């Protein structure tokens, strides 16, 4: 493995050295006073990262983002409940499958490839039936499309539904205000813009979500994900008491504490703005190279990653050429276009220089693939935007 390789995929991302040092530290007991303080502080900090209401409840559990999705569905759905899945790609399909597994009747509102579903369509659909919850993928990592969820909470409340947003490829990078936007669950994983190696499922639930959980008539069908097991544990650490249900991923939690501290030191507004600029710069570079992107309009393109079609005559062998220049980018994920595009992640500690290194590597790899590249065109377009950083 080349340790000087730059990892520019949409998760896992590059991690800050201070975060990695926390991973390498001596592992304390999960009930040692110093670990209790670290876990409690990380939970408190996450609420600030999510701009969540004071009475919301954070959960951090060993597992990946899929577990966070599973936890939301397992605890909120009872057999026979109706769920609306707003589907903008691969992870919408996954959410629909998870909800069905817990006995929900699932309706999907599926966007055209590269497009989003308008919120008035969501409202219209929520008005047709009594839905228990509606799920939206904030940024679908397979298409690079971002849904504007600023009105989702209000629309869901008006129809008596809970709102669940999958922020795995968005949280701590894309603008999100859980309190102001009144979203019931925002969920994510550690390995993306939260900036911690893979292994933590993270979510923050509103008071209303917890009340809906407490009002269940049937037991939660998933033992590990059951909030009856986790609520007392999370509350204990928040109150700086040790407690045990299943062993926490101690070093990952210590790394999370470091990363959350860094995120809050940068400030959420500054962080949203930096991700916007980095993304604008990278996308401008791709346009300058006359490469087409998957999102149908710039306004719905995510800031956390860029999804780019290969130009005519170029195929997935481009990825190997980019890697020879020291940068790792990802192949396609969406079933319908898997072999026709590639994906570049730019979130977390990503810098202007990382963007330039990536654009430079792509320019060279394209030229080697026989694509007529105007040398430096992408770099120049990126530079002119990165100046503002
Ligand atoms: N949702 C989205 C939007 C994702 O990007 C991912 C991971 N790429 C997941 C869910 C699933 O997360 P994990 O791979 O950590 O289980």
Residue (of 307, 310, 280) closest to 295 by Cα position: 307
Ligand 1 centroid vs 161 CA: distance in angstroms? 24
Report CA(250)–ligand 1 centroid distance (Å).
22
Atom of ligand 1 nearest to the CA of 11: 8
The residue among 285, 261, 273, 270 whose CA lies nearest residue 361 is: 285
Question: Strand pairing of 200-205 and 185-189?
Answer: antiparallel
Residue-level pLDDT at 3? 87
CA angle 117/123/129 to nearest 5° reads: 115
* Ligand 1 contact, 200 CB (< 6 A): no
Residue 39 falls in which region: left (phi positive, over 0), alpha (psi -120 to 50) or beta: alpha
The residue whose CA is least distant from atom 8 of ligand 1 is 141
pLDDT value at residue 195: 98
- Residue ranges of the chain whose pLDDT lies below 70: none
- What are the tens digits of pLDDT across the range 246-263? 999 999 999 999 999 999
**Please, are residues 9 and 330 in contact by the beta-carbon 8 Å criterion?**
yes
Compute the distance from residue 313 Cα to the ligand 1 centre, in Å.
31
The pLDDT of residue 2: 84
Gap from CA of 68 to ligand 1 centroid (Å): 9
């Amino acid at each position: 493995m080349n340790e000087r390789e730059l990892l520019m995929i949409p998760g896992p991302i590059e991690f800050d050295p201070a975060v990695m040092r926390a991973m390498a530290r001596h592992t304390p007991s999960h009930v040692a006073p110093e670990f209790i303080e670290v876990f409690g502080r990380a939970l408190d900090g996450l609420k600030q990262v999510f701009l969540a209401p004071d009475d919301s409840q954070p959960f951090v559990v060993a597992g990946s983002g899929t577990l966070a999705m599973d936890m939301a569905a397992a605890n909120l759905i009872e057999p026979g409940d109706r769920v609306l899945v707003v589907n903008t790609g691969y992870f919408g399909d996954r959410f629909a499958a998870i909800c069905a597994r817990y006995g929900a009747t699932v309706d999907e509102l599926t966007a055209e490839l590269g497009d989003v579903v308008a919120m008035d369509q969501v409202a219209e659909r929520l008005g047709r039936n009594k839905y228990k919850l509606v799920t939206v993928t904030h940024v679908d990592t397979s298409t690079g499309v971002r849904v504007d969820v600023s009105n989702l909470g209000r629309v869901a409340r008006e129809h008596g539904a809970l709102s669940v947003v999958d922020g795995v490829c968005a949280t701590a990078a894309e603008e999100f205000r859980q309190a102001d936007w009144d979203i019931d669950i925002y969920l994510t994983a550690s390995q993306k813009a939260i900036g911690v190696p893979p292994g933590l499922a993270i979510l923050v639930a509103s008071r209303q979500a917890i009340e809906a959980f407490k009002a269940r008539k049937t037991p939660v069908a998933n033992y590990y994900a059951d909030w009856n097991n986790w609520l007392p544990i999370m509350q204990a650490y928040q109150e700086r008491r040790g407690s045990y249900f299943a062993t926490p991923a101690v070093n990952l939690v210590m790394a999370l504490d470091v990363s959350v501290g860094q995120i809050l030191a940068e400030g959420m507004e500054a962080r949203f703005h930096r991700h916007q600029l980095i993304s604008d710069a990278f996308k401008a570079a791709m346009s300058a190279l006359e490469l087409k992107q998957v999102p149908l309009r710039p306004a719905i393109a995510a800031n956390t990653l860029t999804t780019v079609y290969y130009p005519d005559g170029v195929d997935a062998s481009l990825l190997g050429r980019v890697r020879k220049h020291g940068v790792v980018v990802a192949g396609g994920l969406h079933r319908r276009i898997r072999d026709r595009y590639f994906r570049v992640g730019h979130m977390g500690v990503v810098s202007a220089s990382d963007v330039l290194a990536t654009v430079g590597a792509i320019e060279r790899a394209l030229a080697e693939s026989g694509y007529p590249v105007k040398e430096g065109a992408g770099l120049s377009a990126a530079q002119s935007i990165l100046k503002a950083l």
